[in-house]
Amino acid sequence: MSASILPRIYRHGVNSLHPVCQKLARRLGCNADCRTGYRTGILDTDIFGPSIPTLFNLSGEPRLSSDNMLVPMSNYGVKTMSMGYLVPEGQVVAWRGLMVSRALTQLLRDVAWDGLDVLVMDLPPGTGDTQLSIAQQVVVDGALVVTTPHTLAVQDAVRGIQLFRKANVPLLGVVQNMSVFCCPGCQTETHIFGKDEGVRKACAELDVPLLADIPLHPLIGDDAHRGKPTVVSEPESSRAQAFLTLAKDIGTTIGLS
Protein backbone atom coordinates (compact mmCIF):
# COMPACT_ATOMS: atom_id res chain seq x y z
CA MET A 1 0.00 0.00 0.00
CA SER A 2 1.44 3.36 -0.99
CA ALA A 3 -0.54 5.72 1.23
CA SER A 4 -3.21 5.91 3.90
CA ILE A 5 -5.53 8.82 4.64
CA LEU A 6 -7.71 9.47 7.68
CA PRO A 7 -10.73 11.64 6.88
CA ARG A 8 -12.17 12.65 10.24
CA ILE A 9 -15.77 13.81 10.32
CA TYR A 10 -17.29 16.44 12.62
CA ARG A 11 -20.93 17.41 12.52
CA HIS A 12 -23.55 18.99 14.70
CA GLY A 13 -27.27 18.92 14.10
CA VAL A 14 -26.93 17.59 10.54
CA ASN A 15 -26.97 14.26 8.77
CA SER A 16 -23.76 12.27 8.48
CA LEU A 17 -20.94 13.85 6.50
CA HIS A 18 -19.50 10.49 5.44
CA PRO A 19 -20.43 11.10 1.77
CA VAL A 20 -17.33 13.31 1.63
CA CYS A 21 -15.23 10.20 2.22
CA GLN A 22 -17.29 8.25 -0.31
CA LYS A 23 -16.71 10.81 -3.03
CA LEU A 24 -13.07 11.35 -2.08
CA ALA A 25 -12.36 7.63 -2.35
CA ARG A 26 -14.18 7.43 -5.67
CA ARG A 27 -12.30 10.42 -7.08
CA LEU A 28 -8.95 9.05 -5.92
CA GLY A 29 -9.88 5.94 -7.87
CA CYS A 30 -10.18 7.74 -11.19
CA ASN A 31 -8.71 10.65 -13.05
CA ALA A 32 -10.61 13.32 -14.94
CA ASP A 33 -11.83 10.88 -17.58
CA CYS A 34 -12.70 8.24 -14.92
CA ARG A 35 -10.91 5.46 -16.80
CA THR A 36 -7.67 5.19 -14.87
CA GLY A 37 -6.42 6.26 -11.48
CA TYR A 38 -5.16 5.07 -8.12
CA ARG A 39 -6.13 1.68 -6.77
CA THR A 40 -8.24 2.84 -3.87
CA GLY A 41 -9.90 1.28 -0.85
CA ILE A 42 -12.03 2.72 1.93
CA LEU A 43 -12.26 1.30 5.45
CA ASP A 44 -15.30 2.20 7.54
CA THR A 45 -13.92 2.40 11.09
CA ASP A 46 -17.25 3.44 12.62
CA ILE A 47 -18.04 0.22 14.49
CA PHE A 48 -21.30 1.49 15.99
CA GLY A 49 -22.73 3.34 13.00
CA PRO A 50 -21.25 1.98 9.76
CA SER A 51 -22.33 3.88 6.66
CA ILE A 52 -20.09 2.74 3.81
CA PRO A 53 -22.34 -0.17 2.70
CA THR A 54 -25.22 2.27 2.13
CA LEU A 55 -23.05 4.91 0.49
CA PHE A 56 -21.61 2.38 -1.96
CA ASN A 57 -24.89 0.50 -2.49
CA LEU A 58 -23.41 -2.76 -1.21
CA SER A 59 -24.82 -5.52 0.97
CA GLY A 60 -24.15 -9.10 1.99
CA GLU A 61 -21.20 -10.74 3.68
CA PRO A 62 -17.64 -10.61 2.32
CA ARG A 63 -16.21 -13.93 1.25
CA LEU A 64 -13.01 -15.44 2.62
CA SER A 65 -9.91 -15.88 0.51
CA SER A 66 -7.95 -19.14 0.37
CA ASP A 67 -5.80 -17.92 3.27
CA ASN A 68 -8.84 -16.93 5.39
CA MET A 69 -8.65 -13.20 4.72
CA LEU A 70 -11.78 -11.09 4.27
CA VAL A 71 -12.18 -10.05 0.64
CA PRO A 72 -13.31 -6.41 0.30
CA MET A 73 -16.66 -5.64 -1.33
CA SER A 74 -16.24 -3.42 -4.40
CA ASN A 75 -18.29 -0.88 -6.31
CA TYR A 76 -17.42 2.05 -8.57
CA GLY A 77 -13.85 0.77 -8.70
CA VAL A 78 -13.32 1.17 -4.93
CA LYS A 79 -12.65 -1.69 -2.50
CA THR A 80 -14.57 -1.33 0.76
CA MET A 81 -14.72 -2.99 4.16
CA SER A 82 -17.09 -2.22 7.01
CA MET A 83 -18.52 -3.71 10.17
CA GLY A 84 -21.84 -3.21 8.39
CA TYR A 85 -21.04 -6.28 6.28
CA LEU A 86 -20.28 -8.43 9.33
CA VAL A 87 -23.21 -7.60 11.63
CA PRO A 88 -26.82 -8.46 10.71
CA GLU A 89 -28.83 -5.43 9.59
CA GLY A 90 -30.65 -3.83 12.49
CA GLN A 91 -28.49 -5.47 15.15
CA VAL A 92 -26.99 -3.06 17.67
CA VAL A 93 -23.28 -3.29 18.46
CA ALA A 94 -22.78 -2.61 22.19
CA TRP A 95 -19.09 -3.19 22.84
CA ARG A 96 -16.60 -1.76 25.28
CA GLY A 97 -13.29 -0.27 24.24
CA LEU A 98 -11.30 -3.51 24.13
CA MET A 99 -13.79 -5.17 21.79
CA VAL A 100 -13.78 -2.12 19.53
CA SER A 101 -10.00 -2.22 19.34
CA ARG A 102 -10.06 -5.92 18.45
CA ALA A 103 -12.65 -5.34 15.73
CA LEU A 104 -10.55 -2.55 14.24
CA THR A 105 -7.49 -4.76 14.28
CA GLN A 106 -9.41 -7.42 12.35
CA LEU A 107 -10.62 -4.90 9.78
CA LEU A 108 -7.07 -3.63 9.33
CA ARG A 109 -5.06 -6.84 9.46
CA ASP A 110 -7.42 -9.59 8.30
CA VAL A 111 -8.61 -7.99 5.06
CA ALA A 112 -7.05 -8.72 1.66
CA TRP A 113 -6.28 -5.12 0.71
CA ASP A 114 -4.03 -6.42 -2.06
CA GLY A 115 -2.35 -3.96 -4.40
CA LEU A 116 -3.84 -0.69 -3.14
CA ASP A 117 -2.22 2.64 -3.84
CA VAL A 118 -4.23 4.42 -1.16
CA LEU A 119 -6.52 3.40 1.71
CA VAL A 120 -9.03 5.96 2.97
CA MET A 121 -10.06 5.27 6.58
CA ASP A 122 -13.37 6.92 7.47
CA LEU A 123 -13.32 7.76 11.20
CA PRO A 124 -16.30 8.51 13.45
CA PRO A 125 -16.41 11.78 15.39
CA GLY A 126 -14.75 12.03 18.76
CA THR A 127 -11.34 11.46 20.33
CA GLY A 128 -11.79 7.97 21.72
CA ASP A 129 -10.71 4.36 21.27
CA THR A 130 -11.16 4.22 17.51
CA GLN A 131 -8.99 7.24 16.81
CA LEU A 132 -6.26 6.16 19.23
CA SER A 133 -6.22 2.57 17.94
CA ILE A 134 -5.83 3.70 14.34
CA ALA A 135 -3.06 6.16 15.23
CA GLN A 136 -1.18 3.43 17.11
CA GLN A 137 -1.59 0.64 14.56
CA VAL A 138 -1.21 2.39 11.21
CA VAL A 139 1.45 4.57 9.65
CA VAL A 140 -0.79 7.33 8.32
CA ASP A 141 0.30 9.60 5.49
CA GLY A 142 -2.21 12.28 6.37
CA ALA A 143 -5.40 13.19 8.18
CA LEU A 144 -8.22 15.17 6.61
CA VAL A 145 -10.59 16.97 8.99
CA VAL A 146 -14.15 17.51 7.71
CA THR A 147 -16.44 19.95 9.49
CA THR A 148 -19.51 22.10 8.94
CA PRO A 149 -19.40 25.85 9.71
CA HIS A 150 -21.42 25.29 12.89
CA THR A 151 -19.62 26.56 15.99
CA LEU A 152 -19.88 23.27 17.90
CA ALA A 153 -18.63 21.29 14.91
CA VAL A 154 -15.64 23.62 14.57
CA GLN A 155 -14.83 23.23 18.26
CA ASP A 156 -14.84 19.44 17.86
CA ALA A 157 -12.68 19.73 14.75
CA VAL A 158 -10.10 21.76 16.66
CA ARG A 159 -9.91 19.04 19.31
CA GLY A 160 -9.44 16.48 16.56
CA ILE A 161 -6.59 18.46 15.03
CA GLN A 162 -4.93 18.66 18.44
CA LEU A 163 -5.31 14.89 18.89
CA PHE A 164 -3.72 14.16 15.52
CA ARG A 165 -0.79 16.41 16.33
CA LYS A 166 -0.33 14.76 19.69
CA ALA A 167 -0.28 11.37 17.93
CA ASN A 168 2.21 12.69 15.32
CA VAL A 169 -0.24 12.17 12.46
CA PRO A 170 0.42 14.60 9.58
CA LEU A 171 -2.47 16.94 8.82
CA LEU A 172 -3.45 17.37 5.18
CA GLY A 173 -5.97 20.10 5.94
CA VAL A 174 -9.61 20.91 6.60
CA VAL A 175 -12.67 20.50 4.38
CA GLN A 176 -15.70 22.68 5.11
CA ASN A 177 -18.81 20.72 4.15
CA MET A 178 -22.30 22.16 3.71
CA SER A 179 -20.68 25.59 3.61
CA VAL A 180 -23.45 27.42 1.76
CA PHE A 181 -26.83 26.74 0.17
CA CYS A 182 -27.59 28.38 -3.17
CA CYS A 183 -31.29 28.66 -4.00
CA PRO A 184 -31.84 27.02 -7.39
CA GLY A 185 -34.55 29.56 -8.19
CA CYS A 186 -33.16 32.97 -7.27
CA GLN A 187 -29.49 32.00 -6.72
CA THR A 188 -29.49 33.61 -3.27
CA GLU A 189 -26.80 32.14 -1.02
CA THR A 190 -27.77 31.20 2.53
CA HIS A 191 -25.33 30.05 5.23
CA ILE A 192 -27.64 27.59 6.96
CA PHE A 193 -25.06 26.35 9.48
CA GLY A 194 -23.39 29.73 9.91
CA LYS A 195 -20.79 31.64 7.96
CA ASP A 196 -17.27 30.31 7.61
CA GLU A 197 -15.43 32.82 9.82
CA GLY A 198 -15.05 30.22 12.57
CA VAL A 199 -13.53 27.62 10.27
CA ARG A 200 -11.15 30.09 8.64
CA LYS A 201 -10.10 31.53 12.00
CA ALA A 202 -9.39 28.06 13.40
CA CYS A 203 -7.36 27.10 10.32
CA ALA A 204 -5.32 30.29 10.58
CA GLU A 205 -4.66 29.91 14.30
CA LEU A 206 -3.67 26.25 13.96
CA ASP A 207 -1.75 26.78 10.71
CA VAL A 208 -3.81 24.18 8.84
CA PRO A 209 -4.85 24.75 5.21
CA LEU A 210 -8.53 24.98 4.27
CA LEU A 211 -8.55 22.65 1.27
CA ALA A 212 -12.13 22.85 0.04
CA ASP A 213 -15.61 24.29 0.52
CA ILE A 214 -18.34 21.81 -0.35
CA PRO A 215 -21.79 23.40 -0.83
CA LEU A 216 -25.01 22.17 0.72
CA HIS A 217 -26.90 20.75 -2.24
CA PRO A 218 -29.96 18.44 -2.23
CA LEU A 219 -28.58 16.28 -5.04
CA ILE A 220 -25.43 15.43 -3.07
CA GLY A 221 -27.63 14.08 -0.30
CA ASP A 222 -29.90 12.27 -2.75
CA ASP A 223 -26.91 10.61 -4.40
CA ALA A 224 -25.60 9.45 -1.03
CA HIS A 225 -28.99 8.01 -0.05
CA ARG A 226 -29.17 5.91 -3.21
CA GLY A 227 -25.56 4.81 -2.95
CA LYS A 228 -24.28 6.49 -6.10
CA PRO A 229 -21.56 9.14 -5.66
CA THR A 230 -22.13 12.51 -7.27
CA VAL A 231 -18.83 12.06 -9.10
CA VAL A 232 -20.44 9.07 -10.84
CA SER A 233 -24.00 10.34 -11.33
CA GLU A 234 -23.04 13.87 -12.41
CA PRO A 235 -19.30 13.86 -13.13
CA GLU A 236 -19.36 17.17 -15.03
CA SER A 237 -21.28 19.14 -12.39
CA SER A 238 -19.63 21.85 -10.30
CA ARG A 239 -20.36 19.74 -7.23
CA ALA A 240 -18.38 16.82 -8.62
CA GLN A 241 -15.55 19.13 -9.68
CA ALA A 242 -15.12 20.25 -6.07
CA PHE A 243 -14.38 16.65 -5.08
CA LEU A 244 -12.12 16.15 -8.10
CA THR A 245 -10.01 19.16 -7.16
CA LEU A 246 -9.80 18.00 -3.55
CA ALA A 247 -8.70 14.50 -4.56
CA LYS A 248 -6.05 15.87 -6.93
CA ASP A 249 -4.67 18.17 -4.24
CA ILE A 250 -4.50 15.35 -1.70
CA GLY A 251 -2.90 12.99 -4.20
CA THR A 252 -0.20 15.54 -4.92
CA THR A 253 0.40 16.25 -1.22
CA ILE A 254 0.93 12.60 -0.27
CA GLY A 255 3.07 11.87 -3.31
CA LEU A 256 0.64 9.88 -5.45
CA SER A 257 0.93 12.15 -8.47
Q: What is the pLDDT of residues 26-66, one digit of tens each?
A: 667 654 444 447 888 999 998 888 889 999 999 999 999 99
209 pLDDT higher than 90 = yes
Average pLDDT, the chain: 83
Half-sphere exposure for 153 (CA within 13 Å, toward CB)? 29
- Return the amino acid letter for 91: Q
How are beta strands 189-190 and 181-182 bridged, if at all? Answer: antiparallel
**More confident call, 128 vs 160:** 160
- Per-residue model confidence (pLDDT) at position 103: 87
180 pLDDT higher than 70 = yes
Closest CA to 129 of 159, 103, 166: 103
pLDDT interval class at 257 (50, 70, 90): low
Closest CA to 177 of 146, 143, 145, 211: 146
Q: What is the dihedral of CA 117, 63, 136, 25, to 10 degrees?
A: 40
Average pLDDT on 155-179 reads 91
In whole angstroms, give the CA distance from residue 92 to residue 102: 17
- 40-44, strands of its sheet edge to edge: 73-75, 78-82, 40-44, 118-122, 3-9, 142-147, 171-176, 210-213
Q: Is 185 left (phi over 0), alpha (psi -120 to 50) or beta?
A: alpha
CA distances, 178 to each of 10, 121, 220 (Å): 12, 21, 10
Max Cα–Cα distance, the chain, nearest Å? 59
Domains of the chain listed by start with CATH number: 3-7+13-146+217-253 (3.40.50.300)
**For the whole prediction, is pTM greater than 0.75?**
yes
DSSP 61: P
- Per-residue model confidence (pLDDT) at position 89: 76
